Amino acid sequence: MDWSIEAAVATFAQARPPGIYKGDYLKELFRRYGDIEEAPPPPVLPDWCYEDDDEEDEDEDGKKDSEPGSSASFGKRRKERLKLGAIFLEGLTVKGVTQVTTQPKLGEVQQKCHQFCGWEGSGFPGAQPVSMDKQNIRLLEQKPYKVSWKADGTR
């Protein structure tokens, strides 16, 4: 395919609204495949990015988000909170994969993740979420050492 960067970014935004919403990603794409001076500004973030921003939720330590040391003190980040009743891999069975939901085991697993990553902040020391499509679910069966948690749903 021979697309302009403008057409590719616009097509992606139509297929996956709001599109690429990180300004530095857009600039880098235009630097590589077009003219960086023509890079558009990032789109306005949808409401779901700031869901529950005015609520004060408690984190795992019982601190309110607005207290020092909470995730809110690191700037405009999406809140991490437990969504009660979330269903883990709804309708699927993955050999060797179990969900840890009870304390103290849940806290121990999360603490180990913090230690392994050298993470001293709050929240999960991970990257962007990975879609659990059939191929990625098969990888879970092949690599049983993987661990993840998601505060606002299941992963």
* Of 105, 102, 106, 101, residue with least CA distance to 87: 101
One-letter amino acid for residue 77 of the chain = R
Domain boundaries, the chain: 5-45, 53-81, 82-155
Please report which confidence band the pLDDT of residue 1 belongs to, taking 50, 70 and 90 as the band edges.
low
Token couple for 6: 């403008």
Query: In the predicted model, what is the mean pLDDT of residues 15-32?
Result: 90
Kindly report the pTM of this predicted structure: 0.36
pLDDT tens sequence across 79-134: 455 556 667 777 778 888 788 878 899 888 888 888 888 888 777 666 556 677 77
